[in-house]
Structures are given as structure tokens and as C-alpha cells.
A = this chain, B = another copy of it.
Amino acid sequence: MTQPTNRQIVLASRPVGAPTADNFVLTQSDIPTPAQGEMLLRSVYLSLDPYMRGRMSDAKSYAEPVGIDEVMVGGTVCQVEASNHAEFEVGEWVLAYTGWQDYALSNGEGLIKLGKQPSHPSYALGVMGMPGFTAYMGLLDIGQPKEGDTLVVAAATGAVGSMVGQIGKLKGCRVIGIAGGEEKCQFAKDTLGFDECIDHKAADFAEQLAKACHNGIDIYFENVGGKVFDAVMPLLNTGARIPLCGLISQYNATSLPEGPDRMSMLMAQLLIKRIKMQGFIIFDDYGHRYGEFAADMTQWLAQGKIHYREHLVQGLENAPDAFIGLLEGKNFGKMVVQTNQPR
């Protein structure tokens, strides 16, 4: 089943508000040929993550935006299709960052080898990759969980949230999840082992959250912002910690919300309650500690202590719709696109 061309999804236009299908175009180009010292990678799995919304805008951020007509960026799990590189063999699996396309060249820089027959190659995009690492370092290093702490995590069944909550349980926290809809809440409690999970779509969401957090909140792992944070803020305990790794509810915002201006109120809360709020970007801040994470997570998975759910979508052509759905919370688990069948 050879493919004569390299399918690529490029950024056709910058979204205003929520991305639409029109912002993406599927194009075809020739499959490139590796020079000496290079190899051709063929993607099998593409990770879809909320941060990609930021790359579609040209507002100043921590990373360069994707240019118009450029291939959308993203983490991938690939197989080496052809190799002129001494250290990589055809058929080998690698974790790469080749984006929303079938094929790409690489000189080996930045690749992580995954072996010849990894049991779950796509895990490198989730539980063993960026989202799992984000959950691990954000919770343990910034959140500093103590036995008996109340930990609240939003997007509780998402790639990061589901890991935060489960690691929190392993550290002896009381874990309260927040998720959209009854099915996700049941999953968080029954399968992930959270103590409670509150549906943010419920009319009395804030009241339910307050009731579940009867001893206040010691750690709030922030990845959504907006109304969820509004409900969390009054419940924060003295000395609370807020690792901040995402604000998905805000990514499509085209303007600031109407007033009053609560910026000073947030700062006053941080002051009065002696709260630490800290943003982080996982590989920039903690890249040197990946080994620590990988060792723990490998063990926890082997011991059955961590449950990992993927939301697998078939076909590169479906990546735009899947990504739009991800920003709307329609995924149930880590969003991964299977772009090609393994060889």
C-alpha cells in the first residue's frame, strides 16, 4: 500500500475565535529523498494537543507561529522508511516532531528512539510523553502534594488531567476531578479512581464543587481557566499551589471578558492566602528530568497503577475535525490520529 505522494495539512488561514475546517488545507507534495546522513520518516501516529491552537495565531507566545501555507506542527511517532544515517535502521520506531504530514526528512536531531517492536508506540505521545511528563512534573515539582491534600484537576479525563489525578492518588491526595458530562465523570471515578468528579456543565457546578471540596483546595492543577477557575478561586486554601500548564477555555477568545477587572482580585487572593501560581512549559523547564519521570511512569504502568485511555482517530485527513473537537472537549482520552498503518 505505497503512497505516491506526501499528504500534508497546512495552515490555510489564521482562525478568529474557534478554528474551522477552512483554516486547514490538505495538500500533496512529492515524497522527499534523504541525502547522506539523513533518513526518511513515515508517520504512524500524530498527537493532537491544545497548545497547537496557539501556534495557529501570530500573537507573541513562547514558540514561533506556524506560517500560512506551512505544515501544521505536532509530535509524531514514525517509522524509518529509508535511511542514509548510520545510527538509524529502516523499520525502527522514533518519537519525532514532523507535524501533520505523512513523510519528513530528519538528520536524527531531536529524535527519541523507541526500538524495533515497541509494545505501544503511540504511548510516547501520551502517558510516556509530553502530556504524562507535564502532569508528573507540574504536580510533583510545583504542586508539592502532601498526604491528605485536596487536589482538584480540570479536564479530568484528558491526556494531562487523567495523569495528574492518578499520580495524585498515588501520593495520597484526595482527588476531585472536573469534566464535561456524566460519562466522563463516571470514568474518572470508576476507572481512574478519583474520589469525586464534578460535571462542569451542571447548572450548580460551583456549588457541587464547593461541596466536594469541604476542606478547601490545596492544589489546583490548572489547564482550562475561565469558569472553572472562577469556581475554584474562592475554595483555595492558605498555602495552595497552582501549577499552570494550559488555559484551554481561553484559547479561542478574541477579546478579554467584560469587566470588572479582576486582575487585582486574583493578586490579592494570592497575597492573602499565600498562594503560588506558576506557569511552566514542560520540555523547556524540565527536559533534564525526563529520566526521573520515565522511570516512575514505566513502573506504574507495569504495576497497573496508571490507566491510560486514547481517543484514536483514523486518517490524517480527519485531523482538522479531531483538533476542532479537542478544543471543544469532545475527545475522551488522549487525542491521537493514526495517519498510516505500521509497516
> Which A residues lie at the B interface, using CB under 8 A?
61-62, 222, 225-226, 229, 238-239, 244-247, 250, 253, 255-268, 270-281, 284-285
Contact = CB atoms under 8 A, between A and B. Distances in A.
Contacts of A247: 264, 267-268, 271
Given A258-B259, A259-B259, A270 B264 contact: no
A271 B262 contact: no
Given A226-B264, A256-B259, A273-B279, 20 more contacts: A61-B272, A62-B238, A229-B267, A244-B270, A250-B267, A253-B264, A255-B260, A256-B264, A257-B259, A257-B264, A258-B260, A259-B261, A263-B266, A267-B277, A270-B278, A272-B279, A274-B281, A275-B278, A277-B277, A277-B278
Nearest to A265: B256
Interface-centre pick from A260, A263, A268, A278 (highest chain B CB count, 10 A): A263
Contacts of A264: 225-226, 247, 250, 253, 256-257
A259 B256 CA distance: 9
Given A264-B226, A264-B253, A270 B259 contact: no
Nearest to A63: B272
Contact of A279 (B250, B271, B281): B271
Q: 8 closest pairs, A vs B, by CB?
A: A259-B259, A256-B260, A271-B279, A262-B263, A276-B278, A270-B279, A257-B261, A274-B279
A215 to B, nearest CB: 17
Contacts of A276: 276-279
Nearest to A222: B267
A195 B284 CA distance: 31
Contacts of A226: 264
Contacts of A255: 260
9 contacts: A62-B238, A62-B273, A250-B268, A256-B265, A259-B260, A266-B267, A270-B278, A273-B279, A274-B280
A285 B238 CA distance: 11
